[in-house]
Amino acid sequence: MDGTGLTNQEDIDTREPVLDTVDRVSELCFGLFMALTFVGAVSAATAGEGAGRKMFYTALGCNLAWGLADAVMFLVRTLTNRGRRLTLALTVRHELDAAAGIGALREALPRWITPLITDAELELIRARLAAIPDLPHRPRFLRDDLVGAVAIFLIVVFATFPVALPFILFRDVTTALIVSRALTIVMLFGSGMALGRHSGFGGWKAGLAMAALGVVLTMAIIALGG
């Protein structure tokens, strides 16, 4: 590895956590909302003996499918983004005109940060990229990508249980619905607190806002017959 730190695929892709706080909380909330919606829909259409088990397995099956689809799309998104970064690195590395290389780097920057970066600073980056002796010709998956996909799948599936498990534990469907919705709101509150602390908005405020969103969604499901 040379001083640029970009001699292989793993160095091109910055070594960040596989899933950050926003990713984890978002997937958990998606799973909660999906399970809550399906439980509400099934409870409106199902009655009698075995209704609780039907709701549990329906919600679990829904989140198994959603978790699998979300994990696959995570891999697609990851490979696509990595391909864009690699294409940029190769373009800058092979560009003989320094000004054109700087222009390519500037176009790739987020708009909010562009005014803060000077051409002289971009030239340092361009020079480092140009000095790299070898770069991969195509993007490829890394071990962390598969770990992230599995983590997404497990988070979405895990989100099923607070919503659907009460229908296995309580024989009375009405009681199970109340417990299910209460647990969902508690988990949404915790998710909101995590997002609030991560973003600096304040854990309690974000937690209450997320819980309020859960209450509104629950009321909408009830109004629709769930």
- Asked whether residue 9 is assigned to any structural domain, the reply reads no
Residue 125 Cα to chain centre, angstroms: 30
Domain total of the chain:
1
DSSP state of 4: T
- Asked whether residue 34 is assigned to any structural domain, the reply reads yes
- Asked whether residue 215 is assigned to any structural domain, the reply reads yes
- Residue 7 pLDDT > 80: no
- Residue 2 pLDDT > 50: no
Residue 1: which pLDDT band, with cuts at 50, 70 and 90?
Answer: very low
Closest CA to 192 of 183, 203, 181, 180: 203
- Asked whether residue 16 is assigned to any structural domain, the reply reads no
- Asked whether residue 178 is assigned to any structural domain, the reply reads yes
- Residue 32 pLDDT > 70: yes
- Residue 10 pLDDT > 50: no
- Asked whether residue 51 is assigned to any structural domain, the reply reads yes
Give the model's pLDDT for residue 226. Answer: 55
Mean pLDDT, the chain, as a whole number?
83
Domain span including residue 210: 21-221
The winner for highest mean pLDDT among 43-57, 142-156, 162-176, 197-211 is 142-156
The per-residue b/e assignment along 178-203, b for 16 or more CB within 10 angstroms, e otherwise, is ebbbebbbebbbbbbbbbbeeeeeeb
Q: Dihedral sign, CA of 74, 76, 78, 80? A: negative
- Asked whether residue 10 is assigned to any structural domain, the reply reads no
- Asked whether residue 77 is assigned to any structural domain, the reply reads yes
Give the model's pLDDT for residue 200. Answer: 83
